[in-house]
Amino acid sequence: MSFDNTEEAEESEELFEHHRLVASPNQELLRLDKYLITFLPNVTRSKVQAAIKEGYVLVNEQPVKSNYKVRPDDEIVVSLPTPPRDTDVHPEDIPLNIVYEDDYLLVVNKPAGMVVHPAYQNWSGTLVNALVYHFQQLPHMQGNEGRPGLVHRIDKDTSGLLVIAKTEQAMTGLAKQFFHHSIERTYLALVWGEPEEPQGTIDVHLGRSLKDRRVTAAFPKGDVGRNAITHYKVLRTLRYVSLLQCQLETGRTHQIRAHMKYLGHPLFNDALYGGSEIRKGTKFTKYKQFVDNCFKLMPRQSLHAKSLGFEHPVTKEQLFFDSELPEDFQAVLAKWDHYVQYN
């Protein structure tokens, strides 16, 4: 059983930065592939050209072709699917908010700002570092070494519930449920504007953006990416923003964030998907200051993994867990309530 990527997780390949080069101020124009062969150890021209073609090489944060001419002060980043270090995870005494635990699994409520597993630039302080401190001999899913106990993930700046497997039996059973999309996952999202329909389904393919590999893009023709289905329902409208309940049928990279951008309603303060600028309302000083204050109050995308339901992989009991919105999310909603009421 392969690792099932859930909303916010990286898709089939996860890129790790291996090299960062800055051309000198006196750099003469030189083909990118030739430049990299000169400055990188133990690489061939064919490997460099293949990496460029696959989009693993960015110049000034943009994909280019092999015949691109390197210019003075160009910043070149080479990122590859394999991590530039081993998969050993070092235990760290980090508190966990455990909402349920038995001999086979546990459910944790992850705070915003905590990375789920070690990766480039985040080798410590992650949920997995905490797990291996508090629990020994957690299982590893095949192809997912270095991430013990994980059967799904959520993004660093998304808060909410995650189920962790403590045994091989639990991991296999939970992975099957994720594979068959039988796990119930509900998120709350604050988005810009108000969708035309109070509830609906977004059934649009998603895949890695052809322009920016950090971003998941929508491909409505279905000729690129993988099928992705999000069911949404408007819970509250607050003039310029709306609180949505989103239920995942599939679990693609940044699924809710990408689908909401496609719908024209990006998540509030989601910088990667255009939600960190005013998308609805005036841009006069008073309103702009209010929005900026909201951004400061919750300096992340407004997304929370609120509930999680599944069949216990061993006892077969139906389990359901719910969580409160974190304080920053509640505070922003309260500010919008006050603004709508008195302005």
Between β-strands 159-165 and 105-110, what pairing exists: parallel, antiparallel or unpaired?
antiparallel
* Residue 202, φ and ψ in degrees, nearest 5: -100, 110
Residue 34 contacts by C-beta under 8 Å, 6 or more apart in sequence?
45
Alpha helices in the chain (DSSP H): 32-39, 45-53, 127-134, 168-179, 255-263, 285-297, 327-342
Question: Could you say which of 155, 157, 270, 328 is catalytic?
Answer: 155
**SS3 per-residue string spanning 87-108:** CCCCCCCCCCCEEEECCCEEEE
CA 268 – CA 38 distance, rounded (Å): 45
Active site residue 292: no
How many Å apart are CA 70 and CA 57, to the nearest integer?
12
How many Å apart are CA 255 and CA 181, to the nearest integer? Answer: 14
Please give the positions annotated as active site.
155
